[in-house]
Amino acid sequence: MSKKSAAESKQRARTVYQTLRRCYPDAHCALEHRDAFELLVATILSAQCTDERVNKVTPTLFKQCGSPAAMARIDRSDLEELVRTTGFFRNKAKSLQGASTVIVKEHGGQVPDTMDALLTLPGVARKTANVVLGNAFGKNVGMVVDTHVGRLARRLGFTKEENPVKVEQDLMALFNQRTWTLLAHLLISHGRRVCKARRPDCAACKLLDLCPQVGVD
């Protein structure tokens, strides 16, 4: 990519970001939480599950085990029942207890605030780590790439990649680091409300003039 085209791509990225901010001034993390541990738990539960469902489950869950120590010692079968409706409940319960145990034993009961440390926790990959770092600690270390972010990044022509890690790298190269956490929320909001997977509402899209509409039927 030439210097001119790279500069043009970054300028378009800035304009997209500014437009989305105007469209979705209320964009924020949809997973309800009060601290880093609650966000970590909610994010693990959100895998292949809606945020709405997770938010229905977590209030009762946190009443019974709202700390890493409590989560680590609760009976596994009881934990499975508490998270059953989020799907894949056995694996999720195992991850929650595994992560909680490591947090208690190796981090003094506090959720770590670095990418390397978070990635050592059972059930935590880059996406989950980015959610926690960006929203609980205010650290823009990387970008959350879920199905909405990936889809919009491709449709907007910011990437050709399917692999979330490669999509993340392409987006990080285009957008200012300070915007990464909010940008993910903005793209998710747009993906849910306008640029939907099956029937994107291009006629109502404020990004239409900026979008090459890659992969839009």
Whether pLDDT at 176 is above 70: yes
pLDDT-based confidence at residue 216 (cuts at 50, 70, 90): confident
Contact 156, 149 (CB under 8 A): no
pLDDT-based confidence at residue 217 (cuts at 50, 70, 90): low
Whether pLDDT at 3 is above 80: no
DSSP letter string over the chain?
A: --HHHHHHHHHHHHHHHHHHHHH-TT----S--SSHHHHHHHHHHTTTS-HHHHHHHHHHHHHH--SHHHHHHS-HHHHHHHHGGGSSHHHHHHHHHHHHHHHHHHHTTS---SHHHHTTSTT--HHHHHHHHHHHS---SS----HHHHHHHHHTTS----SHHHHHHHHHHHS-GGGHHHHHHHHHHHHHHTS-SSS--GGG-TTGGG---TT--
146 among known catalytic residues: yes
pLDDT of residue 4: 61
Catalogue all structural domains in the chain, each as residue range(s) with its CATH number.
10-28+142-210 (1.10.1670.10), 36-124 (1.10.340.30)
Please tell me the pTM assigned to this model: 0.94
Whether pLDDT at 168 is above 90: yes
Spot the catalytic one: 139, 146, 166, 206: 146
CA proximity to 30, closest of 168, 178, 142, 192? 192
pLDDT in tens, 143-164: 999 999 999 999 999 999 999 9
The mean pLDDT value of the chain amounts to: 96
Task: Say which residues have a Cβ less than 8 Å from residue 49's Cβ, sequence separation at least 6.
Answer: 86, 87
pLDDT of residue 5: 83
Whether pLDDT at 99 is above 90: yes
Determine the average pLDDT of the residues in 5-22. Answer: 94
